Amino acid sequence: MQLVLVDIYVPKDTMLHRLDPRAKIIGALLLTVLCFFLTSIIFLVLLLIFLQILIVTTGIKWRSYSSSVWLVARFSIILVLLWPFFDKMGDPVLLDLWAYKVTLPALLRSSIVALRLFVIASGWLILLISTRQGNLVRGLVKLGCPYDFGISLSIGLRYIPNFIGVIEMIKEAQLSRGLDLKKGGPITRARNLIPVLIPTFVIAIRTIEGLSSALVSRGYGASAERTFYRDIRMRISDAVVVGILTTVVPLLIVLDITNMVAI
């Protein structure tokens, strides 16, 4: 079985690609903070549309984009569907099926949470699409993070889409051998996943061993002070973007807190 690596980074020469990684990291962090304060569905939808436009400008292929956000999409749908079991407050009632009671305010609250997840995921996706792994590590180190943390985070984010591709590859291989993942009840379906999980763990362990050997062979950790062959420098345009973000985000939070941005 051959492991097919899937890299989420898109090598293009766009404005987002040329932006300093520190500016993009700060932007993703500020976007995450902003989403925890925003309660306006309209503004969240507009923000999500704007981020999707930025994603399209990076030149990412639809297959890579859909596979990257599908996990968040499924989690958001499940969240909206399960929300009425725990939140039955408000009027009017849209659907009442005994324990499953859907009210309009509860539906709005669940939709806001789902939109927040999508916006946060889109912001970090833009960072990963438009930033090389090495530049991402350098950006984190320049922002004061330890190099070990930067390289660990970068490798982790790099291999998430790889293992998603591995799982899909193993599923297709097992389906071709007659495995039916949709047969039976929940317990049977969970048992049917064992032929998928075991090869996935084996490939994960082999990947970790190969990665650790590669780092050791390249002298990782031999020197306390880390040097870079190519360094990054903040330009005027990067500083302008950071200045705009650090001004607009607190302003939007204040507007939302003072109820000037309504649903």
Q: What would the pLDDT profile of 198-252 be if each residue is shown by its tens digit? A: 888 888 888 888 888 887 887 776 666 666 667 788 889 899 999 999 998 888 8
CA distance 47 to 42: 9
CA distance 101 to 89: 9
Q: What is the pLDDT of residue 90?
A: 75
Higher pLDDT, 29 or 6: 29
Q: Is pLDDT of 119 > 80?
A: yes
Give first-to-last CA distance, the chain, whole Å: 51
Tell the burial category of 68 from Cβ atoms under 10 Å away from its Cβ (0-12, 13-18, 19+).
buried
Mean pLDDT of the chain, nearest integer? 81
pLDDT interval class at 3 (50, 70, 90) = very low
Q: Token pair 């079991």 is at which residue?
A: 85
Please list the residues that pair with 100 across neighbouring strands.
97
Q: Which residues contact 175 (CB under 8 A, 6 or more apart)?
A: 181
Q: Is pLDDT of 68 > 80?
A: no
CA distance 87 to 102: 8
Could you tell me if residue 221 is left (phi over 0), alpha (psi between -120 and 50 degrees) or otherwise beta? left
Q: How far is CA 60 from the centre of its chain?
A: 15
* Phi, psi of 158, deg, nearest 5: -65, -35
Q: Which residues contact 164 (CB under 8 A, 6 or more apart)?
A: 6, 67, 71
CA distance 6 to 64: 8
For 161-200, what is each residue's pLDDT tens digit?
677 778 888 888 888 888 777 777 777 777 878 888 888 8
* Structural domain boundaries in the chain: 13-131+234-263, 147-224
Residue 250 amino acid letter: P
Q: Are 89 and 123 in contact (CB under 8 A)?
A: no
CA distance 119 to 187: 34
| Buried b / exposed e along 228-239 (16+ C-beta atoms within 10 A) | eeeebeeeeebe
Average pLDDT of the segment spanning 114-127: 90
Structure tokens at 45: 């939808």
* Phi, psi of 97, deg, nearest 5: -125, 70
pLDDT interval class at 33 (50, 70, 90) = very high
Q: Is pLDDT of 5 > 60?
A: no
Handedness of CA 68, 69, 75, 77 (dihedral sign): negative
